[in-house]
Structure 1
Amino acid sequence: MQVIDPAHGVAELCSALVAIDTTNQARGDAVGEREAAELVARVLADEAGLDPVLLESAPRRTSVVARVAGRDPGLGALLVHGHLDVVPADPAGWTVPPFSGAVQDGYVWGRGAVDMKDACASVLAVLRSWRARGVRPRRDVVVAFVADEETGGAYGAEWLVREHRALFDGCAAAIGEGGGFPHPAGGVRFYPVGTAERGTLHLRLTATGRGGHGSRPNPDNAVVALVEALARVAAHRFPVRLTPTVREYLVRTAEALGVPAELDSEAGVDATIARVGHAGRLAAGVVRHTMTPTVLAAGGAVNVIPPVAEAMVDTRVLPGGLDEVNAALRELLGPRVRHEVVVQADPVQAPFDSPWFAAMADALQAGDPHAVVVPYCLGGGTDAKAFSALGIPCYGFAPLGPAPDGDGYDHRAMAHAVDERVPISGLEFGARVLDRFLLQV
């Protein structure tokens, strides 16, 4: 049997995907998703020997799904999902053009290199290696490369779940972006695996009042009512609420670093986060609900008081906390400002004491014997929110290896950033870890 490295050509695949501009403009349109999906489908069909299906929720909003038959049809399938769209990139300030897919200095450069065309390339490299090696996974593996994750998934994962649910029949778990990367802290190489996500609650606030001339006193000014309410929202700090994942993360990181974990009080939690240093960054934002004003819209002329003022607030909710957030909103906004829900997606929770998590840890530790694998909660959201609605436990596991020593590379800082790039050595590590996990789980 010919032995093919599952990481063979992964950098070239990543480069080819990055070079296709799949910018999602957040207006219900995107460029390049169709071309990226066609590239993925060609690799799946021509090199991995699969039968991919291309599905469009709207013209050129294209996703690709394929199923690999496992050796044991009695086992539940595993869903592996990734997204093909990216956020916009202004070329100003970039070392290389953001859609060049440049391969240089040991990195693949460009928008999407870490969010998340690197992971998509790893999946493709692994699947095509299986055909060359003549190997099959124990269980069915369903792969989904989807559109529109960056603006919530209405044209991608959400649409697939609603309109093509049968494609995911029998899936017992899922993996996607949001974990499996190195996060060094205090001399320890942590690899966080996502076992939870906060819920998303995007709100539109509207204040109404009496319009008039800007030179005349007006106690019914909608702009004033809105900004006063926003100031209360921005200043509000919810109490600490430790979910099982966040508690376990703090316990394990503190133990690995040899510091005490005091988790029975708010002060103790804050002190523990401070003690674990750099590792505390993954917990600091997810021990509370948060509400962040992000958009303001009112008026059009400096001498005219508008009758309506609006704002958007990005609210993130921990599991079980929706009633608490709604009660706070009623108190903070007051009678003159109303709110409506624009986007709502429930929190995600998956067990960290499961065979799935154990298999991820085993695969990471086989690749890096110094790996300390910990569960963690994502502060934002992924397509896991859509797939978890099918009752599928969803994990953030898109493995990536360390960057070359001493270059100061920070993987978490790369997403959506200028000069986004991924180390080739990390890509190759990730493909080998993914291969081990998919074949053994």
Structure 2
Amino acid sequence: MIHQRPAELLQQLIRIDTTNPPGNEAACVAYVRELLLEAGVTPQVLARDPARPNLVARISGRGAAPPLLLQGHLDVVTTEGQRWRFPPLEARVADGYIWGRGALDMKGGVAMMLAAFLRCAAEGPAPPGDVILALMSDEEAGSLHGAQFLVEQHAGLFRGVRYALGEFGGFSAHLSGRRFYPIMVSEKQCCRMRATVRGPGGHGASIVRGGAAARLGELLRALDRARLPVHITPVVRRMLEDMLAALPLPQRIVFSQVLNPALTDRILRLTGPPGAILETPLHNTVSPRTVPPGGPPTSGSPRRG
């Protein structure tokens, strides 16, 4: 069964185009539904829009332990304007990796959850409590058709859940020759702000200094250059302390200074690519964005304005 071949399962998921917008996750949900039916599990397919469905399945447990939720999303961000080593929907295996849009965000995670869920259903034994699999649409563009819809219309499906596995974590991170597999226990939150810029108007053939478009450009440029102060949360501190403990002593001494706010940015610059990855969890950050014409905000940064 395919749960014994999770790499192949991931390839099949990547090859189903769920680029959001527009999403069109229905084909991917249909594929997963058939796999579950073959394993003896009858899932629920729930949708605000038939083209943007969500799938919820449950394996009954043998005891009274609280349900465990495995939750992920099936949509992916666009590949428009990007250069890829291999076609992004081909899911080619090269250099020991599967290359494709969604391999990390987050069809790789979905493949792992789905493989584990199918194995539990097909091979047993029954878990201590129920296991719920929820695969959702529209995570990349606001979740109106996905998580928001399920919470507003079908919250009862998740009654009693105390633990959940979702995005992110489980992928490898490299530091000083060591490989780590972080476990996500918290998530950085966002605060969206909308700016309206005003300036003098006039005829298009006339020179208008300091117009609204020019002032907007200045604002975006200032935000792009902004580097907010170091902000080390308890969760990030614990993660880095555990990673540092696994490093050889010389590297441990150097990298430990990343937890000193006065030296954090300097150490990040010295560490190269690993430092770039750590910059976000060690700071509050600003990301100037535009809204796609006629669409909602998305989680991807545009490559052209």
Quickly name the TM-score band, shorter chain normalised: 0.7 to 0.9
For residues 168 and 91 of structure 1, what CA distance do their matches in structure 2 show? 39
SS state at 1:266 partner: coil
Q: Which structure has the higher relative contact order (CA within 8 Å, separation 6+)?
A: 1
Residue 97 of structure 1: how far off its partner (Å): 3.7
Residue 14 (str. 1) matches residue 5 (str. 2):
no
Please tell me the residue identity of whatever aligns with 1:247. R
- The RMSD of aligned alpha carbons is 3.2
Change in CA separation of 1:37 and 1:236 when aligned onto 2, cut-off 3 Å: same
Question: CA separation in 1, counterparts of 2:260 and 2:121?
Answer: 54
Q: For 1:208, which of 188, 192, 198 is the aligned residue?
A: 198
Matching residue of 1:348: none
Residue 41 (structure 1) aligned with residue 33 (structure 2): yes
Deviation of 1:249 after TM superposition, in Å, equals 2.5
1:119 CA displacement: 2.3
Can you give the 5+ residue segments of structure 1 that lack an aligned partner in the other structure?
A: 298-341, 344-379, 382-415, 417-441
Does 2:62 match 1:66? no
Structure 1 segment 232-271 matched on structure 2, within 5 A: 232-257=222-247, 258=249, 259-260=252-253, 261-262=256-257, 265-271=260-266
1:67 is paired with a residue of what secondary structure? strand
Q: 1:141 maps to what in 2?
A: 131
Secondary structure of the 1:203 match is coil
Q: Alpha-carbon deviations, 1:49-70, whole Å to 9, x = none?
A: 2221000121311110011112
Q: Which of 283, 286, 295 pairs up with 1:288?
A: 283
Change (3 A) 1:265 1:130: closer
Find the counterpart in structure 1 of residue 23 from structure 2.
30
**1:247, 1:263 within 8 Å by CA — same for their partners in 2?**
no
Match of 1:370 in 2: none
**Superposed CA offset, 1:142-184 (max 9, x none):** 1101101111212111211121111111111111121112212
Check 1:96–1:166 CA distance in 2 against 1; reply closer, same or farther (3 A cut).
same
Instruction: Report the alpha carbon displacement of residue 91 of structure 1 after superposing the two structures with TM.
Output: 9.3
Q: How many residue pairs get matched?
A: 293
Match in the other structure for 1:165: 155
Would you say the 8 A contact 2:86–2:92 is kept in 1?
Answer: yes
Q: Name the residue aligned to 1:359.
A: none
Q: Write out the 4+ residue segments of structure 1 that deviate beyond 6 Å after TM superposition.
A: none
Report SS of the residue matched to 1:283: helix
Instruction: Give unpaired runs (5+ residues) of structure 2.
Output: none
| From 44, 51, 67, the counterpart of 1:53 | 44
* One-letter amino acid of the structure 1 residue matched with residue 280 of structure 2: G
Considering fraction of residues, name the structure with more strand: 1
Q: Please tell me whether residue 84 in structure 1 is matched to residue 74 in structure 2.
A: yes
In 1, distance between residues paired with 2:272 and 2:246?
Answer: 12
Residue among 79, 97, 100 paired with 1:110? 100
1:173-199 CA distance string (max 9 Å, x none):
111121112212112221112222222
Where 2:162 maps in the other structure, the secondary structure is strand
3-state SS, counterpart of residue 181 of structure 2: strand
Contact 2:3-2:118 at 8 Å conserved across structures? no
Question: What is the distance in 1 between the residues matched to 2:214 and 2:78?
Answer: 33
The structure 2 residue matched to 1:154, chosen from 140, 144, 148, is: 144
Identity %: 36
| Equivalent-residue separation in structure 1 for 2:79 and 2:182 (angstroms) | 27
Distance 1:235 1:114 in 2: 28
